[in-house]
């Protein structure tokens, strides 16, 4: 029997068991529902890192907007980069429903107190990198995010449904771009292969540390925030990519890739976790550049925020007259 508080209201144990029962029954937890503080904090941490990844993730591809090889490619890339901004907005909105505002989260990003995905600390050296990001980075993002559509927290799960639809368009544009290059001139094929050589391993790192080093997985899976472990999703991604690489006529840069008949999966080589840790510590090739560009963009946008606030104030004053 659940405890009752002294004033006759249900005690904390009642709320906690209602929360546990809702999670066990695969029901959604909604913003006004009671939730454990640690559940709320875990969601804010993950959603914030995800939102930051979306807006920092605009930078590597935006680098190629002015140099896209045709008007069509430029229009597609502009739409994709704008989609990423939209994803950031949905996700900051989802975090807001947990009581943490965008200003606070951006402040944590800018001061290095919150992370964003390691992948966006690598440079985009050629046009083929736009294809590699679409195929591999968006592909990894979809593999990770489709199960998040069933996340126990309602606003995050619902945001993921729309995000995944858009990411799937992103993945296809990257695949198609690489296919054209791969079937193009020798120089174009070589450029596509070089991009895959550089983006393959960092893409595998997007899924996070191996399961036995993942600090949050067990609890997040018990709460049904995460539905699969980091290693399970990484394996799923490898299994999807191997036949796609073959269809593209490109080679994944891993001599240890081998079909494992017994396991029904592709075995793959060792990931350089030293590199992953260095990137997380701020020592990747572009960490400094990304964060200083983000801070500058935020400062440059101050007048827009001020103008929007002044406009909202004026409307409110007019309405109350
Ligand atoms: N990079 O215990 P775990 C995209 C951190 S969106 C940086 O395993 P968890 C779209 C982790 O935060 C890409 N940090 O953690 C796009 C934790 O640090 P903390 C982003 C990482 O949360 C495409 C620590 O390591 N997607 O690409 C990374 O259970 C193209 C311990 O790790 C999401 O955020 C990493 N790769 O699992 C945009 C999806 N991995 O907080 C533009 C949602 C781990 O203790 C262009 N997030 N860390 O200081 C998730 O599914 C999870 O948060 C994981 C990590 C799987 C990323």
For residue 2, the model assigns a pLDDT of 40
Distance 313 CA to ligand 1 centre (A): 38
Query: Taking CA 128 as the corner, what is the angle to CA 203 and CA 173, rounded to the nearest 5 degrees?
Result: 80
Which residues does 119 contact at the CB level (< 8 Å), separation at least 6? Answer: 53, 57, 137, 140, 202, 203, 205, 206
In this structure, the residue with its CA closest to atom 52 of ligand 1 is: 46
- Tens of pLDDT along the chain (321 residues) come to 344 445 667 777 889 999 999 999 999 999 999 999 999 999 999 999 999 999 999 999 999 999 999 999 999 999 999 999 999 999 999 999 999 999 999 999 999 999 999 999 999 999 999 999 999 999 999 999 999 999 999 999 999 999 999 999 999 999 999 999 999 999 999 999 999 999 999 999 999 999 999 999 999 999 999 999 999 999 999 999 999 999 999 999 999 999 999 999 999 999 999 999 999 999 999 999 999 999 999 999 999 999 999 999 999 999 998
- What separation in angstroms does the CA of 236 have from each of 231, 265, 286? 9, 8, 28
Six token digits for residue 140: 């990894």
Q: What is the DSSP code (8-state) at residue 283?
A: I
User: If you take atom 43 of ligand 1, which residue's CA is the nearest one?
Assistant: 50
- Ligand 1: centre distance to CA 141 (Å): 10
249: CA distance to ligand 1 center in Å? 30
Pick the atom of ligand 1 nearest to 233's CA.
Answer: 56
- Residue 114, both tokens: 């919150």
pLDDT at 1: 34
CA distance 76 to 244: 22
In terms of pTM, does the model score above 0.85? yes
Closest by Cα among 80, 66, 45 to 163:
80
How far apart are the CA of 106 and the centre of ligand 1, in A? 17
- Identify the residue whose C-alpha is closest to ligand 1 atom 25: 208
Pocket test of ligand 1: the residue of 56, 62, 208, 233 to mutate, having most ligand atoms within 8 Å of its CB, is 208
**Ligand 1 interacting residues, C-beta cut-off 6 A:** 45-46, 49-50, 53-54, 57, 84, 115, 117-118, 133, 137-138, 141, 144-145, 205-209, 214-217, 220, 226, 230, 280
- Provide the token pair at 181: 């290059």
Q: What is the pLDDT of residue 149?
A: 97
- Pick the closest to residue 18 from 4, 31, 29 (CA basis): 29
DSSP 28-46: PB-TTS---HHHHHHHHHH
* pLDDT for the residue numbered 57: 98
Could you tell me the distance, in angstroms and rounded to a whole number, from the CA of residue 55 to the centre of ligand 1?
14
Q: How far apart are CA 207 and CA 166, in angstroms?
A: 20
Distance of CA 42 to the CA centre of its chain: 15
Using the mean position of ligand 1's atoms as its centre, give its distance from the Cα of residue 279 in Å.
Answer: 13
The answer to whether the beta carbons of residues 222 and 237 sit under 8 Å apart is no
Calculate helix-pair angle for 37-56, 102-110, nearest 10 degrees: 70
Q: Which atom of ligand 1 is nearest to the CA of 117?
A: 1
């Amino acid at each position: 029997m659940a405890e009752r508080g002294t004033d006759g209201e249900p005690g904390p144990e009642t709320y906690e068991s209602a929360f546990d029962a809702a999670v066990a029954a695969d029901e959604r937890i909604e913003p006004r529902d009671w939730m454990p503080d640690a559940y709320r904090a875990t969601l804010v941490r993950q959603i914030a890192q995800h939102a930051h990844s979306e807006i920092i993730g605009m930078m590597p591809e935006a680098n190629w907007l002015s140099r896209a090889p045709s008007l069509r490619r430029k229009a597609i890339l502009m739409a994709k980069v704008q989609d990423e901004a939209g994803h950031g907005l949905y996700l900051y909105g989802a975090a807001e429903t947990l009581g943490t505002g965008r200003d606070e989260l951006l402040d944590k990003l800018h001061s290095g107190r919150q992370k964003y995905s390691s992948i966006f600390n690598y440079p985009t050296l050629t046009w083929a990198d736009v294809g590699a990001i679409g195929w591999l980075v968006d592909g990894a993002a979809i593999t990770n995010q489709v199960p998040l559509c069933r996340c126990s927290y309602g606003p995050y799960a619902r945001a993921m449904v729309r995000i995944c639809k858009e990411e799937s368009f992103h993945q296809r544009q990257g695949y198609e771009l690489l296919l054209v290059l791969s079937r193009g001139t020798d120089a174009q094929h070589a450029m596509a292969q070089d991009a895959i050589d550089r983006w393959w391993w960092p893409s595998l790192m997007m899924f996070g540390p191996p399961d036995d080093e993942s600090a949050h997985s067990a609890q997040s899976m018990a709460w049904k925030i995460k539905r699969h472990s980091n290693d399970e999703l990484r394996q799923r991604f490898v299994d999807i990519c191997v036949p796609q690489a073959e269809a593209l006529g490109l080679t994944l840069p891993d001599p240890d890739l081998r079909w494992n008949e017994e396991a029904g999966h592709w075995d793959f080589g060792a990931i350089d976790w030293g590199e992953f840790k260095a990137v997380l510590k701020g020592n990747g090739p572009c960490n400094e550049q990304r964060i200083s560009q983000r801070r500058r963009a935020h400062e440059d946008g101050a007048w827009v925020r001020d103008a929007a606030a002044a406009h909202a104030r004026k409307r409110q004053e007019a309405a109350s007259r």
